[in-house]
Amino acid sequence: MPKYLCMQRNLPGGESRKPSPAEMQEMYSKFRAWQEKFQANLVDMGGKLGAGKLVTESAADGPFVEVKELVGGYMILSAQSLDEAITVARAFPGLVHPGSGVEVIEIRTA
Amino acid sequence: MSTPQLVEHFFRHEYGRLVATLCRRVGAQHIEVVEDAVQSALMAALESWTVSGAPDNPSAWLFRVAHNDVVGHLRQRTRRRRLLEQYTKEAIDTGEKGSELFLAQEVQDDLLRMLFVCCDEGIPEPSQLVLALKTLCGFDIREIALRLFISEANVYKRLARARSQLRKFPPRTDGPSEAQITSRLPAVRKILYLLFTEGYLSSHAETAIRRELCNEAIRLTSILAEHPLGQTPETFALLALMHLHAARMPARQDGAGGLVLLEEQDRDLWDREEIQVGLALLARSAHGDVFSRYHAEAGIAAEHCLAPSLQETRWDKVVEFYSLLERSAPSPMHKLNRAVAVAEWKGPAAGLEVLDGFEPPTWLVRSYIWSAVLADLHRRCGNAELANRYRKLACKAAPTSAVKQLLQHRLQINKQTIPRYG
């Protein structure tokens, strides 16, 4: 089954209000339900992305993009089609923060 | 990989526990640093546990993360000032040694200590209430505003006053002394009582929200009642009245969220277990020679819980408790309630007699409760004109549509009883 790379991106102008503990509890429960529902699609839950460098022939430089600002985290899904992967990603609870989006990209191995 | 289930209110209660424990370790004057660290730790937990699963001991994990954050902040601050403040150093030292070690009892102690910190004499009462909701119950500003029917700006203002007082705290980490705890007990009980009544009496449409405040009040009061310094007859009476009121909550609202009159409540819905707990506490409160307002109110609630029907209520006892309540906590509201109980006991004319020559304060005159009681008593005495006038006033002053509906229903049906909110 094809695999898809999902990258969480923080959108400009997104809501930055911190969730309250009660809201966190709700997000946590929704996340559990989501995970259960799409268990078969979840290949690698991935993680958050930290510091990085751009490595070229001559040097390690950068990073040229502020990774932290653009990408919150990544994970890898398996799905029959891009549409199915999008369905799974769209159901991702609250996308952790309101005002963030998930970029879904096919990983071509053949 | 699956994400484990967490107990109900886990995040909110961990928030309260962590703020209390960390404030004891580093001092309540650092409450802002502590609250930020706890918020971040919970957020980190949400992000990490959902990806890699929760650790074996979630509370210890949270404590470690929040504690390191607080220590880091305070160190930075100390460095910046180029002043090694002894208390910060000490707090950091002891904190690191025992960061994994905390016992259930210690947590209860910390929560209680924090409750006493919230009730500091230098903090005005409205700010005490908000501070307790924020720090001990883990509600944020928006949630507090929603629960207390005040604006977010108002919550913020009250919180700022409380915090500015906490900042003046002497740089000590062990919190209020035993003598301070004893002298602050009445203030602490009052805050717990307010917290409960906010949930119980509010006409908020959402039952869940109101029940939540009552549960929080019961949770914190139970901690007080289990602590050697808090175990006084008044504390038991307070906790008894909470349980006895909570017992009747399931019957107080109809399916559509409207309030149900005491006479029409299905008494089978009352929670027998809660009633038993309440009565046992009431028995424990009957020691010594103190008779507080909580004793009187618990006594009234017990009479209602024990009555098989409205008609079979021992109204003479209820009247007696209201008289005692008026004596221990004089309030026009208690007089009005006594008039209502007397009307049940000896008839509506006797009820009106209680109010003869009584000059109610403006806030009471303007409230729907005053007009509603008068409308009902006059109606039952056959004074149609007066009854009609007061009924209109009551409906006009009703704060919510649930209350308005209740009034219209109550004041027009032709029954020989009085409006009461069970």
pLDDT tens-digit series, residues B153-187: 999 999 999 999 988 876 655 667 778 888 889 99
User: Residues of A with CB below 8 A from B134's CB?
Assistant: none
Nearest chain B residue to A47 by CA distance is B51
Q: Smallest Cβ distance to B143: which of A20, A35, A46?
A: A20
Q: Which residue of A has its CA nearest to B11?
A: A21
* B280 reaches A (C-beta below 8 A): no
Question: Does any CB of chain A come closer than 8 Å to the CB of residue B136?
Answer: no
State the nearest Cα–Cα gap between B130 and chain A, in angstroms: 15
CB pairs under 8 A between A and B: 65
Tens-binned pLDDT, residue by residue, of chain B (422 aa): 456 778 888 999 999 999 999 998 888 889 999 999 999 999 999 888 888 888 888 999 999 999 999 999 988 877 766 544 555 555 554 444 444 444 566 777 888 889 998 998 899 999 999 999 999 999 999 888 887 778 899 999 999 999 999 888 766 556 677 788 888 899 999 999 988 988 887 656 666 777 888 999 999 999 999 988 889 999 999 999 999 999 988 887 766 666 666 777 888 888 999 999 999 999 999 988 888 999 999 999 999 999 998 889 999 999 999 999 999 888 888 899 999 999 999 999 999 999 988 888 888 888 788 888 999 999 989 888 999 899 888 888 877 777 787 788 777 744 444 444 44
At residue B93, the pLDDT reads 47
Give the pLDDT confidence of A50-80 residue by residue, as tens digits: 777 778 877 766 665 655 556 778 889 999 9
Residue pLDDT, tens place only, B207-229 = 677 788 899 999 999 999 998 88
Chain B hits for A25, CB-CB cut-off 8 Å, are 6, 9-12
pLDDT (0 to 100) of residue A78: 93
8 Å CB contact of A21 and B47: no
Interface test with A, best of B13, B38, B47, B137 (most A CBs within 10 A): B47
Test mutation, B9, B46, B141, chain A, max A CBs within 10 A: B46
Closest residue, chain A, to B138 (C-alpha): A21
Nearest to B11 among A25, A46, A73 (CB): A25
Q: Does B10 touch chain A (CB under 8 A)?
A: yes
Q: Tell me which chain B residues have a C-beta less than 8 angstroms from the C-beta of A42.
A: 1
Are A22 and B9 within 8 A, CB to CB?
yes
Q: What is the rounded distance in angstroms from the CA atom of residue A99 to the CA atom of residue B372?
A: 49
Q: How far is A88 from chain B (nearest CA, A)?
A: 16
pLDDT for position B72 = 92
ipTM of the complex: 0.82
| Cα B159 from Cα B151, distance rounded (Å) | 12
CB contact under 8 A, A24 and B11: yes
Give the C-alpha distances (Å, rounded to integers) separating B236 from A69, B216, B239, B276, B324: 54, 16, 5, 14, 18
Q: Could you tell me the residue ranges of all domains in chain B?
A: 1-175, 186-330, 352-422
- Enter the pTM of the model: 0.79
pLDDT at B98: 44
> Does A93 have pLDDT greater than 90?
no
Q: How far is A10 from chain B (nearest CA, A)?
A: 15
Of B3, B12, B47, the CB nearest to A22: B12
A19 pLDDT higher than 70? yes
What chain A residue is nearest to B212 in terms of C-alpha separation? A22
The answer to whether A50 contacts chain B (CB < 8 Å) is no
Answer with the residue of higher pLDDT: A57 or A98: A57
Of the candidates A18, A21, A35, the beta carbon closest to that of B11 is on: A21
Query: Is B183 at the interface with chain A, CB within 8 A?
Result: no
The answer to whether the CB atoms of A35 and B50 lie below 8 A apart is yes
Cβ-count burial of B213 within 10 angstroms (0-12 exposed, 13-18 middle, 19+ buried)? buried
From chain B, the residues in CB contact with A27 under 8 A are: 46
Of the candidates A22, A24, A35, the beta carbon closest to that of B3 is on: A35
**Chain A partners within 8 Å of B15 (Cβ):** 21
